[in-house]
Copies of this chain bind each other. A is one copy, B any other.
């Protein structure tokens, strides 16, 4: 067994916990299973983390960050008409979910666990705050790409984006119908396009017109 500084060992254990929980569910992420996945002995976990809850909180933080990066990582930004931009963005978000079934299911397990166990109280709300913020950044991107603003409060739209993606993702996890999820999100994209309004002439846009 390699000797590692405690900080690196923590990261390794967090990744091991993420692997176990994504593969077999959050209940399977026992201290023993995580230690085995990481290839270390049982005591190491309690040497690096005060207790199991601290490990789970760290894991939750890791998956939240990973989801955020994934969401904002590979968004297409080709300037076209509003509808196409929105469709492309939603398609990219959906592709990220479809290709990570285990972590996505784990996210929902973390949400419900957080709502039941006070030790994980902050996990769910942080998860959603991150997603709502990411959705607002997506709205920024659409605004800049398609030169539009919105006929509804941005916060409300961001919340809707997260809600709709969550809803279709959950259904897809249950029945595996990717096509239905795609179609549903495309329909939502068309709706989003209807609440986009041409942006007023602003400083930069005015400059490009001069």
Q: How far is the CB of A177 from chain B (nearest CB, A)?
A: 9
Q: How far is the CB of A187 from chain B (nearest CB, A)?
A: 7
Q: Is the CB of A171 within 8 A of B167?
A: no
In Å, the complex CA distance between A109 and B112 comes to 6
In Å, the complex CA distance between A112 and B22 comes to 12
In Å, the complex CA distance between A127 and B115 comes to 21
A9-17, A55-63, A66-74, A154-162 - interface stretch: A154-162
Please tell me if A198 contacts chain B, counting CB pairs below 8 Å.
no
Could you give, for residues 164-198 of chain A, a 1 whenever the CB lies within 8 Å of some chain B CB and a 0 otherwise? Answer: 11111011011100001001100110010010000
User: Which of B105, B152, B159, B183 contacts A115, CB < 8 Å?
Assistant: B105
In Å, the complex CA distance between A173 and B114 comes to 11
A: number of interface residues (CB 8 Å): 40
Q: Is the CB of A171 within 8 A of B116?
A: no
Please tell me if A24 contacts chain B, counting CB pairs below 8 Å.
yes
Q: How far is the CB of A201 from chain B (nearest CB, A)?
A: 28
Please tell me if A36 contacts chain B, counting CB pairs below 8 Å.
no
Please tell me if A125 contacts chain B, counting CB pairs below 8 Å.
yes
Instruction: Name the B residues within 8 Å of A160 (CB-CB).
Output: 184, 187-188
Q: Is the CB of A170 within 8 A of B159?
A: no
In Å, the complex CA distance between A183 and B159 comes to 10
* CB<8 Å pairs between A and B, sample of 12: A25-B112, A105-B116, A108-B112, A112-B112, A124-B174, A159-B171, A160-B184, A160-B188, A163-B164, A164-B164, A164-B167, A194-B194
Q: Which residues of A contact B (CB under 8 A)?
A: 24-25, 27-28, 105, 108-109, 111-112, 114-117, 124-125, 127-128, 152, 156, 159-160, 162-168, 170-171, 173-175, 180, 183-184, 187-188, 191, 194
Instruction: List 10 A-B pairs, minimum CB-CB distance, nearest first.
Output: A163-B167, A167-B167, A25-B116, A166-B167, A163-B168, A124-B174, A109-B112, A191-B191, A128-B174, A108-B112
